[in-house]
Amino acid sequence: MLFQDERFGMFVHWGIYAVGGWHEQEQWRKSVPKEEYIKYAEGFCPEENSPDEWLELAKNAGMEYVVFTTKHHDGFCMWDTKYTDYNIMHTPYGKDLLKEVSEGCKKYGLKLGLYYSVPDWNYKHSVNFGGDHQLKKPNPGDEPNEELYKTYIKNQMTELLSDYGKIDALFWDIPPYNKDASMNEFVRSLAPGIFINDRGYSKGDYSTPERSIPKNKAFTTLTEACQSVGRQSWGYRKNEDYLSHKLLMASIDSVMSKGGNYLLNVGPDAKGHLTEEAKESLRVVGDWFCRVSESYKGAKLVDLGLSTHINDFLVTKKDNNLYFHLPPLAESSGLALKPIDVLPEEVVVLNTGETVSSELEYMPFYYDGLGDQTPYLHLMGIPVNRLVGEVIVIRATFPDLDELLKKWNAEQSELIL
């Protein structure tokens, strides 16, 4: 089930804005007149089966689901909808791209979620009275009408949730001024069990922090953080500034350790292909993720009150394993882990599979000959320099870990009291 078994997904921002190659919100940000912007549809012609390229990359990267932009703020629809001619069928390509993505997801065993923008800068009845991601004023000839626009959305939702197989999630974007719980209820009537995010007409099932991570806090509700491989745009952008692989790894590690899902975005170009830099990001980050993913799936964040002299040190637990998630700047080749006072059965660096030496030792950080004279766990020989380009995750296996956690937590509580 999504948010339990499937934790890592691919976000795909793809539309006619790829023709301009500047930003997916070009029409709004540059105040491009509608009659000029819609000409991009004439140059949008993906190559046959181009989604297969990035769906295969998603699978190889350890991703388990895809969230695809069916309609972004510009109002252009990437499927064969009968409610507007402003869609993929009226381009040189002339084929249903959502159908191709849906079939590709089945081919690679990926679940499918759909992105749908509440703002619509093209449909004549949409409400564009200024504000967040809304046009400053309606287009010439528009007839803004909130109820008629919601009818349009419901008609399109009926298509999207009826014609493309099982849809596991709906990602609304940009909440409207006026809430309406019936919109989510309508969606659920079409797709029982679907997960709906918190950016639509009413409170949804999960939150979606964007390009940011809540610090030092476990998620207490369903959360799906989203980030793009590029800093400037979510859609295809010429001369994009690509985020470092290490930053993406650190972001994924922090979100997933705290119990969240992670949605990593790419933006195909007008022919449907990713840049070499985007593909490299998926390959490198995906290779790392596949090697350390056991520390997230089925694991829970635990707080041992570890005294490590390292900031933002996260620990997850699964079965009899503790996973130590080193911060992006791993400071040394060893860790002194108070209050752990039991030798693990095995210590392994998930990144490489190599074992790490361990001992119980009176570490100088904690030992002054006066107070606490307990020897604590010391891990040695962590390959921090060889793995300087990755976030390091270490697995330590203990006998009867649940009982040990009770003991260590009780000791920490006594110290606090």
pLDDT at 298: 93
Tens of pLDDT, residues 63-79: 999 999 999 999 999 99
Per-domain residue ranges of the chain: 8-295, 300-416
Pair 266, 282: CB distance under 8 Å: yes
Q: Is 21 left (phi over 0), alpha (psi -120 to 50) or beta?
A: left
Burial class from Cβ neighbours inside 10 Å (0-12, 13-18, 19+) for residue 322 reads buried
Tens of pLDDT, residues 386-400: 999 999 999 999 999
Which is nearest to 226 in space by CA: 196, 263, 171?
263
Tens of pLDDT, residues 282-335: 999 999 999 999 999 999 999 887 655 555 689 999 999 999 999 988 889 999
CATH node for 300-416: 2.60.40.1180
**Could you give the CA distance from residue 417 to residue 308 in angstroms, rounded to a whole number?**
21
Kindly state which CATH superfamily the domain 8-295 is placed in.
Answer: Glycosidases (3.20.20.80)
**Could you give the CA distance from residue 87 to residue 71 in angstroms, rounded to a whole number?**
9
Residue with tokens 């040189």: 92
Task: Going residue by residue through the chain, which has 417 residues, state the pLDDT in tens, using 9 for 90 and above.
Answer: 788 889 999 999 999 999 999 999 999 999 999 999 999 999 999 999 999 999 999 999 999 999 999 999 999 999 999 999 999 999 999 999 999 999 999 999 999 999 999 999 999 999 876 777 888 888 999 999 999 999 999 999 999 999 999 999 999 999 998 999 999 999 999 999 999 999 999 999 999 999 987 776 789 999 999 999 999 999 999 999 999 999 999 999 999 999 999 999 999 999 999 999 999 999 999 999 999 999 999 999 998 876 555 556 899 999 999 999 999 888 899 998 888 999 999 999 999 999 999 999 987 766 665 656 788 899 999 999 999 999 999 999 999 999 989 888 776 644 332
Average per-residue pLDDT for the chain: 93
